[in-house]
Amino acid sequence: MTQDELFKVLVAHCKEYGFIFPSSEIYDGLAAVYDYGQMGVQLKNNIKNYWWEAMTRLNENIVGIDSAIFMHPRIWEASGHVGAFNDPLIDNKDSKKRYRADVLIEDYLGKIEEKIEKEVAKGRKKFGEAFDEAQFRATNPNVLREQAKWDEVHNRYVAAEKANDFAEYRQIIIDCNIVCPISGTCNWTEVRQFNLMFSTSMGSTADGANLIYLRPETAQGIFVNYLNVQKTGRMKIPFGIAQIGKAFRNEIVARQFIFRMREFEQMEMQFFIKPGTELEWFKKWKETRMKWHVNLGMGAENYRFHDHEKLAHYANAATDIEFNFPFGFKELEGIHSRTNFDLGNHQKFSGKKIEYFDPEENTSYTPYVIETSIGVDRMVLAVLSHAYTVEELEGGDSRVVLKIPAPLAPIKVAVMPLVKKDGLPEVAQKVVDELKYDFSYQYDEKDSIGKRYRRQDAIGTPFCVTIDHDTLNDGMVTVRERDTMQQERVKIEDLRALIEKKVSLTNLLRNL
């Protein structure tokens, strides 16, 4: 299966098993908006818990808040979003379809990278053991030609991005003959700036109504509460404020399922520090956040840092943690050193003094900030795309299994009487009563045991517990583990501890 096909299959699987549905589906859906179903919501909540506890419980100096989505419109002037939260858009005159000019160029570069990787894979196959990848890349004429093309376009693109030169974006698109996938033509308009914020109005009369924005990030709710939290929590610098909540962006091209949505959820933490210490803290948060990801066991090789070549005018360091999604390495989380830009601007725009008095040094200053910002939905997609596995079994059978990290799995244990009679359901009910206070569970007595296992594999349940006739005599049940499919006999009273060991969020947090 190609990565593209795998992605399509995954989207269908998410719908079939109650993870993610298109929004308003009976009205044919709403573009780039999705609903989480009965499984998806539990996966999402587990991810949020892991982040929230790692931030607010494992760090004495980080507290959480929950600020409103509606905020005073001046906030978005102060933050720079009214003036500069834009994407460069371009229309194809024939198909009338709209695209992000930067994404068209990045996709073009991505295709060249794919071609190079294909050549390398061919070489590996041809030369077998003797294959020297570095030498192949340095000498193979096809690779060299593609690499030269990539370098040239990439250099032009980076320069255009740095200079905000939109005419050059268009010129690159034309020079590379990048066509619209719908019309197949290169008949493009000029590149224009498009503000990504949604707006609505607040107030009952048209005259008195205020233009209100739906927040495009949760961070500003933290900045405008900096003084409240610092004072009421008697927080001493360095300290952090964490928040999880919805954000809204009118994305021009919304594709790739829940990777780029118009309504999504963020987990953001702003860490307030003394000016001059930012690079040290930036490094610390890069390490801390990478550890949080790798701790889930989805393979360290599937993450990488991508340091920003172009820094926003207020930032003095920025990096993305990228994940190996089915469509390549893409941003999952951003870590930014934002200086005192936000607090400084809110001070200017609100006229309120936003400073920290350092009692040890007897001075006041506007704190600097390190931000960590991750999309909940992108994290859900990372987990699901990594988890989705098709396995060939003995006897020509196959199974689809979601190898979700056990502490994040929506359902932790399935309880199944072998048959629906002979007193087995009653014993199964007792097992449920033993487990339900600690674990999310499903009770299933329908169909053959094999079919029931497949259903649980398909939603990623780490353990299935079967009650059979022997249970009536020896008080033992069969526990089947999701990934290895191995089965063992366990006493009912030992079940809780066995399951707990593997699915516990506490153990996951302890490893950090």
Contact 99, 90 (CB under 8 A): yes
CB of 375 to ligand ATP, least distance (A): 3
Q: What is the nearest approach in angstroms of ligand ATP to the Cβ of residue 394?
A: 40
| Closest CB 71 distance from ligand ATP, rounded Å | 17
DSSP notation for 398-429 = EEEEE---GGG-S--EEEEESSS-TTHHHHHH
Q: Where does this chain bind ligand ATP (CB under 6 A)?
A: 217, 249, 251, 260-261, 264, 266, 331-334, 373-375, 377-378
Which lies closer to ligand ATP via its Cβ, residue 309 or residue 488? 309
- In degrees and rounded to multiples of 5, residue 470 shows phi and psi of -60, -30
For the record, the structure tokens of 33 come out as 């908006």
- Tell me the closest approach of the beta carbon of residue 249 to ligand ATP, in angstroms: 5
Instruction: For residue 352, give both structure tokens.
Output: 């309120």
On the CB side of 137, how many CA atoms lie within 13 Å of its CA?
10
- C-beta nearest to ligand ATP: residue: 375
User: How near is the Cβ of 281 to ligand ATP at its closest, in Å?
Assistant: 18
- 249 vs 346 by CB, closer to ligand ATP: 249
Q: Which two tokens stand for residue 239?
A: 């300290």
Q: Which is nearer to ligand ATP, 52 or 136 (CB)?
A: 52
SS3 of 316-328: the string is CEEEEEEEEECCE
Query: 33 or 449, CB closer to ligand ATP?
Result: 33
**Alpha carbon distance 85, 252 (integer Å):** 13
Nearer CB in complex with ligand ATP: 146/371: 371
Cβ proximity to ligand ATP: between 244 and 374 the closer is 374
CA distances 85 to 118, 222, 250, Å, are 37, 19, 11
Least Å distance, CB 326 to ligand ATP, is 16
State the minimum distance, in angstroms, from the CB of residue 334 to ligand ATP: 4
Nearest distance from residue 15's CB to ligand ATP, in Å?
18
Report, in Å, the least distance between residue 330 CB and ligand ATP: 7
CB of 103 to ligand ATP, least distance (A): 9
Nearer to ligand ATP, 245 or 462 (CB): 245
Q: Which two tokens stand for residue 456?
A: 């649980």
What is the 8-class DSSP label of residue 119? H
Question: What element of type H or E holds 20?
Answer: strand 20-22
| Closest to ligand ATP by CB, 113 or 251 | 251
| 3-state SS, one letter per residue, for 230-280 | HHHCCCCCCEEEEEEEEEECCCCCCCCHHHCCCEEEEEEEEEEECCCCHHH
Contact 122, 137 (CB under 8 A): no
Q: What is the rounded distance in angstroms from the CA atom of residue 356 to the CA atom of residue 378?
A: 35
Give the DSSP letter of residue 66.
-
Cα–Cα distance measured from residue 132 to residue 134, given in angstroms and rounded to the nearest whole number: 6
d(CA 346, CA 351): 8
Give the nearer residue to ligand ATP in terms of CB position, either 14 or 261: 261
Closer Cβ to ligand ATP, 224 or 247, answer by number: 247
Count of alpha carbons within 13 Å of 372, Cβ hemisphere only?
Answer: 25
Measured from the CB atom, is 170 or 260 closer to ligand ATP?
A: 260
Minimum distance between the CB of residue 229 and ligand ATP, rounded to whole angstroms?
21
Q: Which of 380, 343, 299, 311 is nearest to 50 (CA)?
A: 380
Distance from C-alpha of 102 to C-alpha of 400, rounded to nearest angstrom:
37
Nearer to ligand ATP, 373 or 478 (CB): 373
- Are the C-beta atoms of residues 421 and 465 closer than 8 Å to each other? no
- Closest by CA to 372, choosing from 288, 264, 296, 248, is 288
CB of 208 to ligand ATP, least distance (A): 32
